[in-house]
Amino acid sequence: KGALSNGSASGDGVRGRIISNHSGKVGEWSINNGSVDTTVAKLNVKAGETIDFVTDCIANHSSDSFNWIVTISLQTPTKKTEAFSSKEGFHGPIDSPEVIAAGVVKAWELALCREPTEQELTAAFQFIFRQINSSMKTAKGKTPSQQALTNLCQALLSSNEFLYVE
């Protein structure tokens, strides 16, 4: 179940579809400047099946921002139900470890005028990936890894090494 919303009267709206690689199109909804319920009553799935949530523009790509928050409820053969929320459990692509490492090193150089030690780099990576995998809020226009790097920079700028000259 979920809701697809488009908050702009300027565009022509967006279309959302749920597509299964076994069952085909499961649902389709269009919305312009509002919200529409995107609940699918029941869908039997098999191991290895892929369910895609696809959103695209209707005709023009202008003012097509959207939000589609869904909760997937999975009932196992033992009748146990598990829920998965897109708001809390999913995020966009994560930058490669090399890109994140370059950002961490650059942050250290700018804030502390030195490269991080191996121990500091390991701790920074742990911090970054905990941030990405948490339900942190992401600032508008930032990826989860950019937001995590921003949070790391704030921590560096609050550190004793930055604040006090020895």
Tens digit of pLDDT for each residue in 107-164?
A: 999 999 999 999 999 999 999 988 887 766 777 777 888 889 999 999 999 999 999 8
Summarize the confidence of residues 10-38 as an average pLDDT: 92
> Would the pLDDT of 81 be above 70?
yes
Calpha distance 164→166 (Å, rounded): 6
Q: With b meaning 16 or more CB within 10 Å and e meaning fewer, what string describes 104-139?
A: beebbeebeeeebeeeeeeebbebbeebbeeeeebe
Q: At 126, which amino acid appears?
A: Q
Pair 112, 162: CB distance under 8 Å:
yes
pLDDT at 25: 94
In this predicted model, what pLDDT tens digit does every residue of 54-63 receive, in sequence order?
A: 999 888 877 7
Summarize the confidence of residues 93-103 as an average pLDDT: 85
Calpha distance 166→30 (Å, rounded): 61
Rounded to the nearest integer, the mean pLDDT of the chain is 88
pLDDT at 166: 67
> Would the pLDDT of 90 be above 80?
no
Q: Encoding tokens for residue 44?
A: 């039997």
Tell which residue, 43, 70, 40, has the closest CA to residue 55: 70
pLDDT at 92: 64
